[in-house]
């Protein structure tokens, strides 16, 4: 283990500098300057979601860090993000959720990357909060990347792109925590939630590592 940490010393998940303290995910500078979300508030105009908790605003170092998780095979980041998210949720949550699920990735993407980052984060949150994690949704077709699209194009892009892949009784009357990496306009999460409501869930609450600021 010592040799491993000598060869691969733990690094700050935001700025990647080598950490001096053990059991920490951030360097002291990032801990003080990271764009943490201080007041949790759901973005306006997102149907089917009862609320949202995000750890960071999606900017600068946070953006680069999530990109490393997604595209540069850093699945270990999901452990850190999951822990930060679970901490934040425990502060916010009044009633426990019945099940934790995630925004599914199209199979080909998961295959190429080796993992779906939202699923890894969701499973980490579930473990820390002692709530079962279960894949409730699948993607029915590939979609274009959402960035660069307008709000209405985003909505159209994901419309009908998901379906519930479990029997209705698994979701019926359940309070579902939906996990994703980033919340932008909420189109993707809202479409996932719409499908969960078709299976008669009671509530869908969204948890993301980061969200964009309201303009």
Residue ranges that bind Zn ion, judged by CB under 5 A: 12, 14-15, 27, 30
Q: Least distance in Å: CB of 82 to Zn ion? A: 19
Residue closer to Zn ion by CB (options 35, 51) is 35
Residue closer to Zn ion by CB (options 15, 79) is 15
Tell me the C-alpha distance between 4 and 27, whole Å.
Answer: 20
139 pairs with which residues across the strands? 162
Structure tokens at 63: 């953006």
Residue closer to Zn ion by CB (options 14, 120) is 14
Work out the number of other CB atoms within 10 angstroms of the CB of residue 51.
Answer: 15
Q: Least distance in Å: CB of 210 to Zn ion? A: 16
Q: Least distance in Å: CB of 64 to Zn ion? A: 11
Q: Least distance in Å: CB of 15 to Zn ion? A: 3
Tell me the C-alpha distance between 153 and 155, whole Å.
Answer: 5
Residue closer to Zn ion by CB (options 30, 122) is 30
Tell me the C-alpha distance between 51 and 205, whole Å.
Answer: 5
Say how many CA atoms lie within 13 Å of 3 toward its Cβ. 0
Residue closer to Zn ion by CB (options 27, 136) is 27
Among 196, 201, 186, 203, residue whose Cα is nearest residue 54:
186
Tell me the C-alpha distance between 180 and 203, whole Å.
Answer: 16
Q: Least distance in Å: CB of 73 to Zn ion? A: 20
């Amino acid at each position: 283990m010592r040799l491993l940490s000598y060869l691969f010393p733990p690094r700050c998940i935001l700025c990647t500098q080598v950490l001096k303290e053990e059991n920490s995910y951030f360097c002291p500078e990032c801990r003080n300057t990271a764009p943490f979300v201080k007041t949790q508030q759901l973005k306006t105009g997102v149907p089917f979601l009862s609320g949202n908790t995000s750890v960071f605003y999606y900017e600068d170092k946070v953006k680069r860090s999530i990109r490393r998780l997604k595209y540069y095979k850093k699945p270990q980041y999901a452990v850190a993000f999951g822990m930060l998210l679970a901490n934040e949720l425990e502060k916010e949550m009044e009633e426990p959720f019945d099940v934790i699920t995630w925004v599914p990735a199209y199979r080909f993407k998961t295959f190429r990357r080796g993992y779906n980052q939202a699923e890894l984060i969701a499973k980490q949150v579930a473990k820390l909060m002692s709530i079962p994690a279960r894949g409730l949704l699948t993607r029915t077709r590939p979609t274009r990347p959402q960035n660069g699209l307008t709000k209405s194009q985003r909505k159209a892009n994901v419309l009908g792109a998901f379906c519930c892949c479990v029997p209705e009784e698994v979701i019926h009357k359940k309070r579902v925590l939906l996990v994703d990496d980033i919340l932008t306009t909420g189109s993707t999460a809202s479409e996932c939630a719409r499908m969960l409501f078709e299976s008669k869930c009671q509530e869908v609450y969204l948890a993301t590592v980061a969200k964009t600021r309201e303009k």
